[in-house]
Structure 1
Amino acid sequence: MNKYGNELELILLLTDNHEHDTQELANSLGVTQRNIYYYFENLKKYGFKIIKNRTKYRLDRRNQFFRKLNDSIALNDSEAMFLYQMLMGQDDKNNMVQSIKVKFERFYNLELSTKPAHLKRRRRNIQKLREAMESHKMVRLRSYSSPHSKTKTDRIVEPFLFLNNENEVRCFELKTHVNKTFKVSRAHDVEILDVDWMHEHEHKELFTDIFMFSGEEKQSICLELGQLSHNLLIEEYPLSETYLEEIGDERWLLKTEVVSLVPVVRFVLGLFQDIKIIENVELKNLVEAQIAQMHKMIV
Structure 2
Amino acid sequence: MTGTKRTKEISDFLEVDKRSVPRLLDKLRNLGYNIDSERRKGHTLLWDQQYSLKKFNTEESRFLAELVQIYAPEHPLAKGVMRKLDYDISTVPLAKHVQEVVNSKNFENLKWALKHQCQVILKPYHSNNELSPPTDRTVLPLQLYLRHRQLYAYELESGKSKTYKLSRIGFVEVTNEKFNGSLPPLEKPDPFGFYATTADHIHLSMTKAAAQLLAEEYPEAEVYLSPDDDLGIKYKGPMCNPMGIGRFILGLPGKIKVRSNQKLMDFLHQQQLEDLHSDE
What TM-score, normalized by structure 1, do the two folds share?
Answer: 0.45
Structure having the higher helix fraction is 1
Q: Report which of the two structures shows the higher radius of gyration computed on alpha carbons.
A: 1
